[in-house]
């Protein structure tokens, strides 16, 4: 891991210096500010070895995103993916973060995957099969028969997505069976 991280930083630094017309072997920066997912804990010592600068701030990526989005002014950013967080700074320069939401409502890709999987079981595509796929997915997503509930307990984004994928699979099987009997 250390080698890949170091290589990535050195490669990026060399490319940036070349683009700016600087000789990377003799360039010393007056300041460097770098932000990484997971924060600075395991990266700061490595960066001090490979990035020549008088002052260095190694922080988390949310601070970099907030500073870039607000030009250093007070504001809030929301980062949404399989892991989500909100990060903000007030006029006094104080920062706050809300993160590690178990299944953030703003993230809907899990629902999209489950809904798509349920529709994959349709033997015909019409308004009845669309409605049936939607309703069956919602039933299995709310009811959470085994192993849907157990999959939900998996860590992070895997659990967020796996339970909806399994609910979608169950819905697809029922929808397929209903189609075989011409019920829609």
Q: How many whole angstroms separate alpha carbon 141 and alpha carbon 168?
A: 8
Please name which of 141, 159, 158, 142 lies closest in space to residue 150, comparing C-alpha atoms.
159
Per-residue pLDDT of 76-121, as tens digits, reads 888 776 567 788 888 888 888 876 656 666 567 889 999 999 999 9
Contact between residue 174 and residue 155 where contact means Cβ atoms under 8 Å apart: no
Which residue is listed with tokens 């899990």?
110
* Residue 147 preceded by cis peptide, ω within 30: yes
Please name which of 134, 76, 77, 81 lies closest in space to residue 104, comparing C-alpha atoms.
81
Contact between residue 92 and residue 144 where contact means Cβ atoms under 8 Å apart: no
Per-residue pLDDT of 18-45, as tens digits, reads 999 999 889 999 998 888 877 788 888 8
Contact between residue 16 and residue 34 where contact means Cβ atoms under 8 Å apart: no
Q: How many whole angstroms separate alpha carbon 98 and alpha carbon 101?
A: 8
Chain-centroid distance, C-alpha 161? 12
pLDDT computed for residue 168 by the predictor: 97
- Looking at the chain, the whole-number percentage of residues with pLDDT higher than 70 is 92
């Amino acid at each position: 891991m250390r080698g890949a991280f170091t290589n990535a930083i050195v490669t990026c630094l060399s490319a940036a210096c070349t683009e700016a017309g600087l000789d990377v072997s003799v360039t010393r920066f007056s300041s460097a500010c770098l932000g990484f997912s997971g924060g600075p804990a395991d990266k700061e010592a490595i960066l001090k070895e490979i990035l020549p600068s008088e002052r260095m701030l190694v922080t988390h990526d949310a601070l970099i995103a907030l500073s870039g989005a607000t030009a250093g002014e007070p504001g809030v950013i929301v980062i949404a993916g399989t892991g989500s967080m909100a990060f903000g700074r007030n006029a006094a320069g104080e920062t706050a973060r809300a993160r590690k939401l178990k299944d953030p409502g703003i993230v809907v890709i899990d629902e999209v995957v489950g809904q798509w999987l349920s529709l994959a079981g349709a033997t015909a595509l019409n308004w009845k099969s669309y409605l049936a796929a939607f309703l069956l997915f919602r039933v299995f997503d709310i009811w959470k028969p085994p192993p849907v509930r157990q999959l939900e307990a998996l860590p992070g984004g895997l659990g967020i997505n796996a339970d909806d994928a399994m609910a979608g699979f169950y819905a697809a099987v029922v929808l397929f069976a209903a189609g075989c009997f011409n019920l829609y």
